Structure 1
Amino acid sequence: MAHAAPTVHRRHRGTTTDRTHHFGKSAMVRALLAGLVYGVWAAFIKRQMGPVDAGNVFYGILCGALFAGIMFTLGRMGSRLPRELHAAAYGVFAGGALGYLYSLTGDSVLRSAGLGIAVGAATAVTAFYRYYMREP
């Protein structure tokens, strides 16, 4: 008995520009959500248990927008850097962001700097390991 030859079913996966455009949207959403959390956190710390006023809201929006802008730019441009620089850029960004938030609490500058350096170094090492393992 004759049987039909098996055929390969192919799915349409979209063009490269569709995938790139989708990546851009998800990176933008991720940066905006992280910026929103960072801005609310910064405004909450800056408020210091007082009433919420327009200055606190503006401060939170400004901090969140700067954080989101830097995060989005680093996500888009970081892949063009060598893995060592890419990991160092993420380390500097994470350390600086967390050190700044800690400095808003009114604690010493040395403790803020120490925490920022520790977080930045841990982030840079983790990012370097991730990029080293995924690079062909």
Structure 2
Amino acid sequence: MENHAPRHDARAAGTHGAVEREHGATAGRGTESGAARPKGGRRLPATVVWPVIAALGFGCYTIWIDHTGGASGGHAALLGLIAAVVTGALGLTLVHFQSTMITDTRALAYGALFGSSMGWLYNLSGPSVLKSSAWGLVMGAVMFVVSLYIFRSQRVREPHGRHRPRHMNRTPHGAH
């Protein structure tokens, strides 16, 4: 075997998990210049970022719908702020406790949060409470089915493992 000397700017094959320097990746905590990542430069986890982004989007959409419906700018902004804070708190709570829920309960919680939010937004745009409730139920049911499909298809990430193991028509060795 030949023993090749590593070059300073060389790239390794991408299938071996090597670091490619021209893409900005670093091999460890310290870089070649010896500088470490600053302590204040911590990233927020995705379990915090995505509910906050969703809440901000929900608040902005609430402002737009309320202002389009004829409310003043201040009233629409206050309603949007309240909507963003409430849905953000509920979303962060749901994401925080989702690892303690079984799959069906988790999907039901996502469906309930999404359905009630969409029903409330639909009611804000003008239709009756009955129509808005029906719309919220439909959207909640759709979210329940979609999230249940996602949670069941990615069983590796599920906190409790497989929901229902596929052991059909198996009898114990002693029971014939």
How high is the TM-score relative to the length of structure 2?
0.61
SS at match of 1:107: coil
Gaps in structure 1 of 5+ consecutive residues: 14-20
Identity of aligned residues (%): 25
Q: Figure out how many residues of one structure are paired with residues of the other and give that number.
A: 125
Q: Which residue does the alignment assign to 2:137?
A: 117
Cα distance in structure 1, aligned partners of 2:52 and 2:17: 39
Higher relative contact order (CA 8 A, sep 6+): 1
Give the residue type in structure 2 aligned to 1:26: A
Q: Which residue does the alignment assign to 2:99?
A: 79
Q: Which residue does the alignment assign to 2:119?
A: 99
Q: Quick check: 1:37 aligned with 2:57?
A: yes
Q: Quick check: 1:134 aligned with 2:154?
A: yes
Partner deviation per Cα, 1:16-36 (whole Å, 9 max, x = no partner): xxxxx96x6322221121111
Q: How far is the alpha carbon of 1:123 from its aligned partner? A: 0.7
CA RMSD of aligned residues (A): 2.6
Cα distance in structure 1, aligned partners of 2:2 and 2:53: 59
Q: How far is the alpha carbon of 1:55 from its aligned partner? A: 2.3
Cα distance in structure 2, aligned partners of 1:106 and 1:9: 55
Given that residues 103 and 152 in structure 2 are in contact (C-alpha distance below 8 angstroms), is that contact kept between their aligned partners in structure 1? yes
Higher share of residues assigned helix: 1
Give the residue type in structure 2 aligned to 1:120: G
Cα distance in structure 2, aligned partners of 1:134 and 1:12: 30
Given that residues 69 and 125 in structure 2 are in contact (C-alpha distance below 8 angstroms), is that contact kept between their aligned partners in structure 1? no
Cα distance in structure 2, aligned partners of 1:134 and 1:120: 21
Given that residues 55 and 85 in structure 2 are in contact (C-alpha distance below 8 angstroms), is that contact kept between their aligned partners in structure 1? yes
Larger radius of gyration, structure 1 or 2? 2
How high is the TM-score relative to the length of structure 1?
0.77
Cα distance in structure 2, aligned partners of 1:26 and 1:9: 24
